[in-house]
Amino acid sequence: MMSPRISVLMPVYNGEKFLAASIESILKQTYQDFELLIWNDASTDNSENIIQSFKDSRIKYHKALQNAGISESRNQLMRLAKGEYWAIIDHDDIAHPQRLEKQVEFLDAHPEISVVGSAIRLFCKNPRAGIFKNFIRNLGWIWKQPSHPTLSDALKGCPLMHPSAMLRGKDFIHQKLFYKQEYTPAEDYKLWSDTLMSGLKLANIQEVLLYYNLHGENCSVRRKTQMRQADRKVKNDIKKFLNIKSRFHYPYFLVILQKLRLSLKKDKNI
């Protein structure tokens, strides 16, 4: 039996509120040569029943006996992947129907690129967030990253939106690049900086291929203190690699101003 072209990697922990929509967005992709690997990190809610309600042979479901955290969940998914390309998605986000198709086309056409991300559109599907927050988040905010980010870009902030990423698997296996638990919840930022420091290249398609659910319970929101500490740790690693002595850190509000756009165009995919 031939291996699928793409392994879609979805870690799950207590994702019952948004999980079904995320799974459906992958199963409805225009590009169909994939396996959907789901790693349930010992959820205590209804996540398992939701996953098992999908009767699709492309879904490969695995469940941890004990909760090990997001970084180990992601590493387990990498170890299980059989595809040439690895597409990341979180249990609360939604993929554009052509996401896999367009990212495969890009990586096929650019063999020098090891990871390709995309622009993302922010939205909120949490009624408990409040009317005002829902209105602001659903206006049509789009987050764009540099087309070909460098370590200088990474020094300002994470250079690629993690759940929009598609990786060339063999490059990460060859370079032994995995997520590092001690950098959680900025494990993605550390992985991309390690990727750049290893000499591999990143790219971003300047088109919305993922919808990021800013529901207010995201890990980056719930664990702000740990996120700031891990973020600073990654930046210090990059400075050490580049032999930069300065203690100055690029202000995050400038990162937001450079990358956030407003598009009032409606999108039927969310």
- Please indicate, yes or no, if residue 34 is contained in any of the structural domains: yes
Distance separating alpha carbons of residues 58 and 5, to the nearest angstrom: 12
pLDDT band at 116 (very low <50, low <70, confident <90, very high): very high
pLDDT band at 138 (very low <50, low <70, confident <90, very high): confident
Distance separating alpha carbons of residues 89 and 92, to the nearest angstrom: 8
- Please indicate, yes or no, if residue 268 is contained in any of the structural domains: no
Residue-by-residue DSSP string for 69-109: -HHHHHHHHHHH--SSEEEE--TT-EE-TTHHHHHHHHHHH
Distance separating alpha carbons of residues 90 and 187, to the nearest angstrom: 14
- Please indicate, yes or no, if residue 270 is contained in any of the structural domains: no
pLDDT at position 134 is 75
Paired strand residues for 88: 9
Q: Which domain range does residue 36 map to?
A: 6-262
Query: Could you give phi then psi for residue 130, rounded to 5 degrees?
Result: 100, 150
- Please indicate, yes or no, if residue 225 is contained in any of the structural domains: yes
- Please indicate, yes or no, if residue 148 is contained in any of the structural domains: yes
Structure tokens at 160: 């690629």
- Please indicate, yes or no, if residue 269 is contained in any of the structural domains: no
**Contacts (Cβ under 8 Å, ≥6 apart) of 51:** 12, 19, 23, 38, 40, 59, 61
- Please indicate, yes or no, if residue 267 is contained in any of the structural domains: no
pLDDT at position 78 is 98
- CATH number of the domain enclosing 73: 3.90.550.10
Query: Could you give phi then psi for residue 26, rounded to 5 degrees?
Result: -80, -45
pLDDT at position 224 is 75
Question: How many separate domains does the chain show?
Answer: 1
Taking only the tens place, the pLDDT of each residue in 24-38 is 999 999 999 999 999
The rounded radius of gyration (Å) of the Cα atoms in the chain is 18
- Please indicate, yes or no, if residue 1 is contained in any of the structural domains: no
Question: Angle of helix 224-242 relative to helix 187-197, nearest 10 degrees?
Answer: 10
Rounded to an integer, the average pLDDT of 74-86 is 98
Taking only the tens place, the pLDDT of each residue in 211-251 is 999 876 665 556 778 999 999 999 999 999 999 998 888 88
